[in-house]
Amino acid sequence: MLGENHALFIEYPEHQDRIKELKQSDQDFKQMADRYHQLDHKIRGLEGNNIPTDDHHFTELKLERVQLKDKIYSILSH
């Protein structure tokens, strides 16, 4: 669905406390979470506002977001 919010708290509601904890105690995790948020915001903005962008750029943004999501989930699940 276009413009769907993929915020970490929405994607992983069962890990909300762990996400908060790691953002405060682990600088690397915080940077990943912040970058994920920036990418999600940018992607939703492009989708929601029908802002022209080339497919390659858009695909790269989405790929980076999913790769970060995988890394974040790996951390959260261990």
Q: Where are the domains of the chain?
A: 18-77
Q: What is the pLDDT of residue 33?
A: 97
Rounded distance, CA 69 to CA 59, Å? 15
Sign of the CA dihedral 21, 35, 28, 77?
Answer: positive
Number of other residues whose CB lies within 10 A of the CB of residue 65: 19
Rounded distance, CA 22 to CA 40, Å? 19
pTM: 0.86
Q: What is the pLDDT of residue 4?
A: 77
Q: What is the pLDDT of residue 54?
A: 80
Q: What is the pLDDT of residue 3?
A: 62
pLDDT per residue of the chain (78 residues) written in tens, 0 to 9: 556 788 999 999 999 999 999 999 999 999 999 999 999 999 988 887 776 778 898 899 999 999 999 999 999 998
